[in-house]
Chains A and B, each alone.
Chain A
Amino acid sequence: MKESILIKIMRYFFSIRGVLDEHNLREVNKVATNAFMFLWIYTAVANGALLIVSDKFLTHSTLIWFLFVNLIIALGGVSLYVTRKISKLKLNYREVSVEEYPKAVHQAIIHGAWFGIIYGIFCYFMMARIQGLFSLFTILFTLFIVVMGWTSDTQKEIGHIVKVE
């Protein structure tokens, strides 16, 4: 069965590797609902608090701190919660038969390569701002990041493949 784009996005963000059947989909929906409710309440409380704070406290640095705390709690906290739940439900594991294992490993290597390349591009532009676009250091650093990203992600992906008899 062909998966919709939404399911593919959900798979990517929730690191779901196995079969997304009705049971797993229900569990993922529960996690997503909890995450949504937390974000909704947090947004209401955080923005409400900012509205009632006196003007004299609303300096530029206060707002930067507010933004920083929001990123840590809303993005970091929710990511941590979702990752932990998905891991607990073992949805990040992929079960394959012995015959399909080499193919799954190959797919993990390809996944790792994409991860390394995207991570590398991101790091290249970050470093290019500091060292220059064609700096040798930028290029070597990017290559290092690509190799690191590739190997670490491949290792993680292979670790999540389970051979089933």
Chain B
Amino acid sequence: MNRVREYRKNRGLSQFALAEKVGVARQTVNLIENGKYNPSLKLCISLAEELGTDLNTLFWKVDETK
């Protein structure tokens, strides 16, 4: 899983607001957050920029044990 939801919530954005900012449908953001869709690199970069972070933090495997 990724940390898109966590960063989006920290920024106080709704799925719809984030989707509008990066130019995708709300359902796509939902699928990405739930790990059901692998976005393109271009979309990953847009998401990271919009959420004020980098690709590693956002998409690198989250250590569940921590």
Contacts and interface: CB of A to CB of B under 8 A. Distances in A.
B34 interface: no
Contacts, number: 37
Contact of B25 (A1, A24, A165): A24
Contacts of A90: 27
Nearest to B16: A164
A1 B27 CA distance: 19
A3 interface: no
Count class of interface residues, chain A: 10 to 19
Count class of interface residues, chain B: 10 to 19
B48 to A, nearest CB: 16
Indicate the member of B14, B28, B31, B37 with the most A CB atoms within 10 Å: B28
A19 interface: yes
Nearest to A89: B27
Nearest to B14: A165
B19 A23 contact: no
A164 B24 contact: no
A24 B31 CA distance: 11
B23 A24 contact: no
A7 to B, nearest CB: 14
Nearest to A165: B14
Given A19-B24, A22-B24, 17 more contacts: A19-B19, A19-B23, A19-B28, A21-B43, A22-B40, A22-B43, A23-B27, A23-B28, A23-B37, A23-B39, A24-B28, A90-B27, A95-B16, A97-B16, A164-B14, A164-B26, A165-B14
Interface of A: 1, 18-19, 21-24, 90, 95, 97, 164-165
Interface of B: 14, 16, 19-20, 23-28, 31, 37, 39-40, 43
Q: What are the 8 tightest A-B residue pairs by CB atom distance, in nearest-first order?
A: A21-B24, A19-B25, A164-B16, A23-B28, A18-B25, A21-B28, A21-B25, A22-B40
30 contacts: A1-B23, A18-B25, A19-B19, A19-B23, A19-B24, A19-B25, A19-B28, A21-B23, A21-B24, A21-B28, A21-B43, A22-B24, A22-B28, A22-B39, A22-B40, A22-B43, A23-B24, A23-B25, A23-B31, A23-B37, A24-B28, A90-B27, A95-B25, A95-B26, A97-B16, A164-B14, A164-B16, A164-B26, A165-B14, A165-B16
